Chains A and B, each alone.
Chain A
Amino acid sequence: MKILVCISNVPDTTSKINFTADQTAFDTTGVQYVINPNDEFGLTRAMWMKEKQGALVHVATVGGPAVEPTLRKALAIGADEGIRIDAEPTDGLFVARQLAEVVKNGGYDLVIAGRESIDYNGGMVPGMMAAMLEMNFVNTCISLEVDGDKATAIREIDGGRETLETRLPLIIGGQKGLVEESDLRIPNMRGIMMARQKKLTVVPALDAAHGSRDLRFEKPAPRGPVKLVDADNLDELIELLHKEAKVI
């Protein structure tokens, strides 16, 4: 089984979000980049398939040279080979088209992407890829078992979960549940050393259409201070929620 894990390079979850002075771009000053958490769950699931089922695992990112440390981290965790598609990941449609090409040329049986990137929150790349490649697709995937070309997946639905059956080739949009937080791996010294020797191919981007363009950004208006209500005076809270906030 040949697996491609699509990795989006995102600011660490604790990053302060700021924009450039003209508000048109994210200000990367001092920001730590990490493997998108949804993709890290998927990568770990792929590692298990490598160890138990002998799968070959490649990782791919659409991005400039600055994303390579994130790809190297994925290699240090255990992926066999990395692919960087050399282009700015400006929008989902463009990124999906680039990744779809890698999938097509690489003959992957399983493509593991994440439910969404935690920075721009697109939530679209895996579904778009699935449509472009006419592959089966399970989104918000929280469990995946593959046996031959049969796959059983569980996806999260609003208010519960749904079990699905399908066949490879398959794309998933994964998230926590594929593996648990405690299963995530921190690269060790040996992994980091080995990652340096692993193949990281840079491929040029295709000329592809853009679906959207972020023009400018804005931070939410600063909120007023919290109104504290005494624990002995909950009537006041109800009054505020009813009359002031008008939510009950």
Chain B
Amino acid sequence: MSVLVYAETENGTFRKNAFEVASYASQLAASLGVEAVAVAINADHPEALGAYGIGRVLQVSEDRLKTFNARATAAVLKQAVSQAGARIVVTSSSTDAKYAASILAGLLKAGYVNNVVSLPEPGESLVVRRTAFSNKAFAYTELLGDVSIIGVSNNAFGVVENPVNAAAEAFAPALADADFGVKPVSVDKASDKVTIADAEIVVSGGRGLKGPENWGMIEELAGVLGAATACSKPVSDLGWRPHSEHVGQTGKPVASNLYIAIGISGAIQHLAGVNASKTKVVINTDPEAPFFKAADYGVVGDAFQVVPELIEKLKEFKAQNG
């Protein structure tokens, strides 16, 4: 019996969420008194997971997985579950992890819950707390069956250092041609930008910014904070920003530490997608904007004045605080 964790990589390096799910898995394994085992695909330094309490890494080297492939990843994980005798699989809530985990759940006939925000409650059965109803509520969900999959909500648990020695062992699962039935052709992605899924801080703009030409200051603010940029739905519908930046109930979920909403009214469908963020700041000219009721800090003011000034002040702050 063990807890297996899928530690995602990109170009040989672990993604930030890999360390968070590794931390979660090693604490879960410790509480159950079992081993935490990671699966790492094409990782240059699998032993890096040792810093987060993972003592054993199944290291997969597979050229066909240099680009992500969900079904093949699910096939790898399924075989790793047998290899490690795992009863619980832990994954992140990244787009890729959710994609692969849903297939894995079908292959294993396993219960799967995502958006999980805490470790299971102590007890006989496996009960986790997760967000549901688009962040408007929490559900306590019991996982049934022989194997269960827990998808940890981004930033919900945090990265917890707990250094141990990680032993990497080569693991060569069998993959069939059918596992590669969906073929990646091309990727369109800004490689130098923080993604919403990985970001600790997200700077988001709404229709109050009037037009795409005004996004320079949003990008700059994000740059100063090392943040990802996001937007409200109408902004992506109007083509001011790419669809991948649309957040909310019908867009991407945001679970950052800090969410800064600029010129966004705070419609219920928008809030549904961003309420999981820990601290929310609103900048809006209208003191009656509903977002003020959902925010921690607010500035009633014109974005075109507030944002440039905030950028300058943050630069000074960063210069002093490193």
Contact = CB atoms under 8 A, between A and B. Distances in A.
Interface string A213-228: 1111111100100111
Nearest to A131: B106
Interface stretch (B24-32, B35-43, B128-136, B210-218): B128-136
A217 B140 contact: yes
Interface in A99-119: 118-119
Nearest to B283: A231
Residue from B70, B94, B132, B228 having most chain A Cβ neighbours under 10 A: B132
Say what secondary structure dominates the interface of chain B: mixed
Interface string A167-189: 10000010111001110000000
Given A136-B181, A240-B297, A247-B279, A121 B133 contact: yes
Contacts of B141: 212-215
B99 A140 contact: yes
Given A130-B103, A160-B190, A164-B182, A120 B139 contact: yes
Nearest to A36: B250
B123 to A, nearest CB: 11
Nearest to B71: A137
A245 B310 contact: no
B18 to A, nearest CB: 13
Interface string B77-108: 00000000000000000111011011111110
B55 to A, nearest CB: 29
A196 to B, nearest CB: 30
B181 A212 contact: no
B140 A127 contact: no
A152 B183 CA distance: 10
A64 B260 CA distance: 42
A122 B70 CA distance: 17
A234 B113 contact: no
A140 B95 contact: yes
A163 B109 CA distance: 29
B33 interface: no
A176 B183 contact: no
Contacts of A228: 292, 297-300
A136 B176 CA distance: 13
Interface stretch (A44-52, A76-84, A88-96): A88-96
Contact of A159 (B189, B272, B314): B189
Say what secondary structure dominates the interface of chain A: mixed
A160 B136 contact: no
Contacts of A134: 178
A19 interface: yes
Contacts of A130: 71, 103, 106
Given A218-B137, A228-B298, A37 B250 contact: yes
B244 A160 contact: yes
Contact of A160 (B70, B189, B295): B189
B103 A234 contact: no
Contact of A211 (B71, B112, B178, B228): B112
Interface in B233-265: 233, 237, 242-244, 246, 249-252, 257-258
Nearest to A239: B317
A217 to B, nearest CB: 5
B188 interface: yes
A199 interface: no
Residue from B112, B188, B269 having most chain A Cβ neighbours under 10 A: B112
17 contacts: A124-B101, A128-B105, A130-B106, A137-B103, A158-B96, A160-B242, A211-B144, A212-B141, A214-B140, A216-B140, A217-B138, A220-B135, A220-B136, A234-B310, A237-B310, A238-B317, A241-B279
Interface of A: 11, 13-14, 17, 19, 26, 37-38, 91-93, 96, 118-132, 134, 136-140, 142, 152-153, 155-167, 173, 175-177, 180-182, 209-220, 223, 226-231, 234-235, 237-238, 240-242, 245, 247-248
Interface of B: 70-71, 74, 94-96, 98-99, 101-107, 109-115, 127, 131-145, 148, 178, 181-190, 193-198, 200-201, 225, 228, 233, 237, 242-244, 246, 249-252, 257-258, 268-269, 272, 275, 278-279, 281-282, 292-302, 305-306, 309-310, 313-314, 317, 321
